[in-house]
Structure 1
């Protein structure tokens, strides 16, 4: 790290105020922001959705619509004020002097062009070179971001890459013209924990190799601790606190900073805890904290409310002449577990491991190939359509994206009343009263029934989806990545809500997630999945204190820890992608055996 007092900043932002035109008035979204990014330094801007983080980065890049936005102040990049440049000059700056990577690479990559063509275009746009030179440089960049078989993958399209590998392609494109500043806007939020670890290590390594400065935008304090030299905390469009990252973590002064830090789930915080425990909630204005009470209702283990035995779910792949069967995606392979009344069983693993397919198979949104699923002793797989309709009163599902789960044309009241009326549980008046009661149950006001989904925040929409899942008084709720897309403090509130409801209503949860720290907080038991199979299952404390399978250990090692002392740590996670679950026609999976390593703790034999 160079002496930042002896050199000029790469980026100097002074009194940045960004406004948007709304109903004829200009409304400030970012107010009076000032900060510097020094050569080779990583500065993190942290805050929740709506705090102004991304608007700050888009203002720096001049990517906001000129007709509906206004930027005041000064933005100096290597001494050049970007706000005084015309659009032609600004185009030369973007990608050349400063580059940006976004949260979702599939919205940034063109699906109809190969990866090689898109990176070559980024190169030839800013530097004169032949097609052969561009190809050679593209291969070098792909190898630099640790993409295996770079030469062979030049001709592949974005959809042929995993999420983590697509994000590496975006980083390669950003590095094409060797920028002095890289702006990374939530680049790891949508990624699995092991892939997130790889991307963070990659950014650190590239920064060391090229002396690049990084402006890192995130709401994940664990990521901030591991990557940032200095941190700026934003709240409602303003910087409320800034300073050395270690000082922010250990001596944060602003109530909102303390609220963010208190809501971060810390792996290992549940050691010696018998029951799931709520998150402490700190008021962002007063700084007052709630006591994180435990969920002390014992699980009823007399008989399972849900039994899954030898479940197999596959998706056939047709192709060739006459649409012959070319094989299948072995999404779930020979999975067995029980779920008891009042229990939370968490399914964890990376994207593509089969977690969501299990949830969809149990609710019959996907059709299993074989095995058995019993709900209160009734066979789910062989149920007729009327019986299946009756079953769904007892088992409901909460999905990851609440906005996609709600009809944008229907009011919240209509969405909550629909299941009640469809199952003929009572009159419209009774349905309305039930909807109002459920809104109050999830911490919202009954007078919100006439609003539409777009009028709510992400956390509020997820509360509405939870309320809808409770409409028919189910025994089991499948929560499929239901808190993964939420900001850290909203995530804590929703998890606490789920625990409150479980305590009051004795609900059973199948909690599907890749967030190990949240899983540790909410679970009674944990099942770890890899390539469609459960490789380890057992009590939560046994899995986290004594993981046995190599893949479980890999998941644990990849979790970001909110400790700035880990700033220079490297996880040494292998850069390989998750293996494909596609198998050729006629493939017979090997028989797996399990070894008992403790009471209720089983691990797949290698």
Structure 2
């Protein structure tokens, strides 16, 4: 056929098309618009990412597409078409056929989406039978095939397991299997990796990419993690306060941002390797969301005092009994922390990193004696916290305070912020009520909040503001040590940058020492002086930050670092060589005797557990 007689290419039609999508919610009798005319297309086989922080409208967009917004309090207008079919105004019975059929959704927290009283097999069977007419034997075979497709080992046996018997990553795989049950044309993934450890996140991202290629699905990926966006998305839409402020090919969004908010979002993303050549921890450069102007990245160059440790752990052991049988006898133990030793020096940030279940949070709770350890020493200024009487313990607790991951759960909803901040001061009899109030006002200013906010309750603050209040409360007793347990993990990217900067500023001004517990390796690289890597209750590698990231020695450390999403669109086709195995169980038999560990020094202060 000659060039002149070639047929013109038929243009592809979008799988999903939004035109001027608007959503309003009823608030006190008035309709308040939260989405202001969103338009986008998702083409066949394409991955489109919607990014933005909490309150930007990205999840409302996905719920609108799925028809899951409450009819009585939400009003949707504009156009949503799926394979050319208009969804706005579609009767609920027809929407139910489309949900899980032509389109499916994966939510952020699989445990709230899976029914705890039914087995995984029963829930998969329900998803399959809702859209496909198959016999019981065919449904079972299809359920096994789907579990195998999402790389769950020993799929046939796991059909009988309940959701609580799976790890977080494996539960998310089950959710993906259920979403794939009717071979949807569109998969909506709403923050599917936010609650997962970094290595599990890497596995899920690779899995979604692979399944998309195998099934030819289109994916609408909703996230606030720009590293994830760079690795999965063909095109990206940036949302801010209900508006799509910028959209385009992902590479263009990363290299040629036009809107100030996009620049602010990218500037707040910690990137692995960005600390190369930096001798000190580095504050984030904060970009103004309205103007796009950036503050400088300032190093924290206050020297660490290495003359004597302020906190020393020596051979710390914390275990939890496992009981079973009719008589509730001890059948084993969870070896949560096994023979851990390290020092923390004045003005130092020592980070503990590892996956969920590795024991890092248990170390923090053991130091504070919120959890009882069974052996070892916890020395603060030379005194052993582990064995001292409770009468002395309360006074020594003034030296060490803890910031928890969820500030809303750690603040009493019935107490004003003034009451929350003054209570420890008064309990420890550090002064009068007037002095307590004055200190609370001073600390609010220290953490960047107005003293006028002291009369408010926790629910009247944003997540970032609540975390600042938790930091202020930890400082009330003038501690020398702060144990920050995943204290920025649940925060949006720009709020995370602000809180990390605040922690570093406070360390500089007040001479604080931090035990920074986290699984976010990119944040750890930016804030740490030293890093200890934990696996199954033991430290497998500990080193100065520069040495650990430039020259990781232990296989598990290399695995953690390799799994971190990097905000670089050139990694779009990346596949990690990450094992799909679940993390091993720390439960041991009653008669188990831990092996004696040996460490070799590979550099100044760089120790690695020998195999």
TM-score by structure 2 length? 0.98
Distance between the aligned counterparts of 2:160 and 2:503, measured in 1? 46
Aligned partner of 2:244 among 239, 244, 257: 239
Structure 1 residues 329 and 4, CA, compared in 2 at 3 Å: closer, same or farther? Answer: farther
Aligned partner of 1:67 among 69, 72, 75: 72
Distance between the aligned counterparts of 1:80 and 1:493, measured in 2? 44
Q: Secondary structure at the match of 1:60?
A: helix
Distance between the aligned counterparts of 1:593 and 1:475, measured in 2? 32
The equivalent residue for 1:292 is 297
The equivalent residue for 2:524 is 519
Q: CA deviation at 1:266?
A: 0.7
In 2, are the aligned partners of 1:312 and 1:335 still within 8 Å (CA)? yes
Q: Secondary structure at the match of 2:281?
A: coil
1:314-366 C-alpha deviation (Å, 9 max, x unpaired): 00111124221101000000000000000000000000000000000001001
1:352-381 C-alpha deviation (Å, 9 max, x unpaired): 000000000001001111011100000111
Are positions 1:570 and 2:575 aligned together? Answer: yes
Q: CA deviation at 1:426?
A: 1.3
Q: CA deviation at 1:131?
A: 1.3
Distance between the aligned counterparts of 1:349 and 1:98, measured in 2? 35
The residue correspondences of 1:588-599 to structure 2 (distance < 5 A) are 588-599=593-604
In 2, are the aligned partners of 1:318 and 1:325 still within 8 Å (CA)? yes
Deviates more, 1:424-433 or 1:347-356: 424-433
Q: CA deviation at 1:84?
A: 2.6
The equivalent residue for 2:30 is 25
Are positions 1:98 and 2:69 aligned together? Answer: no
Distance between the aligned counterparts of 1:357 and 1:212, measured in 2? 42
Q: Secondary structure at the match of 1:301?
A: coil
Aligned partner of 2:394 among 369, 389, 392: 389
In 2, are the aligned partners of 1:4 and 1:38 still within 8 Å (CA)? no
Q: CA deviation at 1:413?
A: 1.2
The residue correspondences of 1:52-201 to structure 2 (distance < 5 A) are 52-201=57-206
Distance between the aligned counterparts of 1:465 and 1:302, measured in 2? 31
Q: CA deviation at 1:5?
A: 7.8
Are positions 1:530 and 2:535 aligned together? Answer: yes
Q: CA deviation at 1:391?
A: 1.4
Distance between the aligned counterparts of 1:457 and 1:479, measured in 2? 19
In 2, are the aligned partners of 1:352 and 1:531 still within 8 Å (CA)? yes
Distance between the aligned counterparts of 2:90 and 2:478, measured in 1? 60
The equivalent residue for 2:419 is 414
1:93-145 C-alpha deviation (Å, 9 max, x unpaired): 10001100000000000000000000100001111111111110000000000
Are positions 1:205 and 2:233 aligned together? Answer: no
The equivalent residue for 1:541 is 546
Structure 1 residues 384 and 16, CA, compared in 2 at 3 Å: closer, same or farther? Answer: same
Aligned partner of 2:274 among 264, 269, 273: 269
Q: Secondary structure at the match of 1:83?
A: coil
The residue correspondences of 1:367-446 to structure 2 (distance < 5 A) are 367-446=372-451
Distance between the aligned counterparts of 2:408 and 2:139, measured in 1? 42
The equivalent residue for 2:555 is 550
Q: CA deviation at 1:418?
A: 1.1
TM-score by structure 1 length? 0.99
Distance between the aligned counterparts of 2:122 and 2:433, measured in 1? 58
Q: Secondary structure at the match of 1:576?
A: coil
Q: Can you give the 5+ residue segments of structure 2 that lack an aligned partner in the other structure? A: 1-7
In 2, are the aligned partners of 1:97 and 1:181 still within 8 Å (CA)? yes
Are positions 1:254 and 2:263 aligned together? Answer: no
Distance between the aligned counterparts of 1:301 and 1:172, measured in 2? 52
Distance between the aligned counterparts of 1:155 and 1:275, measured in 2? 52
Are positions 1:347 and 2:352 aligned together? Answer: yes
The equivalent residue for 2:229 is 224
The residue correspondences of 1:321-360 to structure 2 (distance < 5 A) are 321-360=326-365
Are positions 1:455 and 2:460 aligned together? Answer: yes
Distance between the aligned counterparts of 2:430 and 2:73, measured in 1? 48
CA RMSD of superposed structures (Å): 1.0
Distance between the aligned counterparts of 2:549 and 2:89, measured in 1? 55
Q: CA deviation at 1:557?
A: 0.3
Structure 1 residues 22 and 535, CA, compared in 2 at 3 Å: closer, same or farther? Answer: same
Number of residues of Structure 1 aligned to a counterpart in Structure 2: 604
Q: Secondary structure at the match of 2:88?
A: helix
In 2, are the aligned partners of 1:373 and 1:379 still within 8 Å (CA)? yes
